[in-house]
Amino acid sequence: MDGDFGPVEELADVLGGAVGASRAATDAGWIEHSAQVGQTGKTVSPQLYISAGISGAIQQKAGMQTAKVIVAVNKDADAPVFEIADFGIVGDVFSVLPQATEEIRKRRS
């Protein structure tokens, strides 16, 4: 997310979800350490986990692979996260996430 969690927060907001992060993001100081999901962070098992701009390293998967539905957005079609995703979108998070937020908002109103 290059330090800009705005699009993630807006999507979480419209879905009534919570924001987590990879260790790369917490180590970079983009978000607090308590938000880290993974082997050395929190284990989560939500109905829906949206992985946005996260490679899907084994240590990240350890904390989220039991989510009921996994949606991955990554600009690299070969990112490991696509191996466990139920739905995958190859694209830029800064384009895909705002479109998803907008569409969900429209359908809810």
Ligand X SMILES: Cc1cc2nc3c(=O)[nH]c(=O)nc-3n(C[C@H](O)[C@H](O)[C@H](O)COP(=O)(O)OP(=O)(O)OC[C@H]3O[C@@H](n4cnc5c(N)ncnc54)[C@H](O)[C@@H]3O)c2cc1C
Query: Contact residues for ligand X (CB under 6 A)?
Result: 22-25, 36-41, 53-55, 57, 59-60, 63, 73-76, 79, 92-94
**Which residue's CB comes closest to ligand X?**
38
* Residue 72 beta carbon to ligand X: minimum distance, rounded to whole angstroms: 9
For ligand X, give the closer residue by CB, 14 or 94. 94
For ligand X, give the closer residue by CB, 16 or 77. 77
* Residue 103 beta carbon to ligand X: minimum distance, rounded to whole angstroms: 18
* Residue 108 beta carbon to ligand X: minimum distance, rounded to whole angstroms: 25
Q: Are 27 and 36 in contact (CB under 8 A)?
A: no
For ligand X, give the closer residue by CB, 86 or 107. 86
CA–CA separation, 27 and 75 (whole Å): 22
Torsion of CA 11, 72, 67, 39, to 10 degrees: -100
CA–CA separation, 78 and 83 (whole Å): 9
For ligand X, give the closer residue by CB, 15 or 39. 39
Q: Are 42 and 49 in contact (CB under 8 A)?
A: no
Q: Backbone dihedral region of 27: left (phi > 0), alpha (psi from -120 to 50 degrees) or beta?
A: alpha
